[in-house]
Chains A and B, each alone.
Chain A
Amino acid sequence: LHDAARNVRDGSQFRSTDGSVMVEVWVDEDACIGSRNCAFLRPDLFQITDEGIAQLQAVGEPLDGDEIVTVARNCPSHAINVTIDGQHVAGGEWMPDR
Chain B
Amino acid sequence: MATDVRELEAPDLLAQECIDDPYPVFAWLRENAPVQWNPGVQMWTVMRYRDVVDHYTSKRHSHYLPQAVSSPAKTPEDAAADERIGEWIRKWVLLKDPPDHTRMRSVLNKAFTVRIVQSRRDQFVQRVDGLLDAVEARDGKLELMRDLAIPVAYSAICDLLGVPEDKRDLFYEHGEIQANYWNGVYPDRAKTEAMLEESTGMFLELLDARRAEPKDDLLTAMVLAEDEGRFLSDDEIISNLHLLNFVGHETTDGQIGNSMLALLRNPDQLQLLRERPDLMRSAVDEFIRYDPSGAWAHIQFATEDFEINGQQLHAGERIAFCLASAHRDPEAYQNPDKFDITRNPEKNISFGIGAHYCIGAALARLELAVVFERLLARYPRLELAGEVTYRPNAFIRGPLTLDVDLGIA
Contact = CB atoms under 8 A, between A and B. Distances in A.
A96 B221 contact: no
Nearest to B215: A1
Contact of A34 (B102, B114, B218, B229): B114
Interface in B353-371: 353-359, 361-362, 365
Given A35-B351, A40-B346, A76-B105, A2 B221 contact: yes
A40 B357 CA distance: 12
A2 B228 contact: yes
A94 B322 CA distance: 32
A1 B221 CA distance: 7
Highest count of chain A CB atoms <10 Å: which of B106, B228, B357, B362: B357
A33 B113 contact: yes
Contacts of A73: 355
Given A1-B221, A35-B351, A52-B365, A77 B102 contact: no
A76 B355 contact: yes
Given A51-B114, A96-B98, A40 B353 contact: yes
Contacts of B118: 51-52
A32 B357 CA distance: 12
A4 B112 CA distance: 12
Contacts of B347: 40
Interface string B82-99: 000000000000000011
B179 interface: no
B220 A1 contact: yes
B109 A33 contact: yes
The 10 A-B pairs with the shortest beta carbon distances in the complex, nearest first, are: A97-B98, A76-B357, A35-B357, A34-B114, A2-B221, A34-B362, A94-B106, A77-B109, A96-B99, A52-B114
Given A2-B225, A33-B109, A76-B357, 4 more contacts: A2-B110, A29-B115, A34-B361, A51-B114
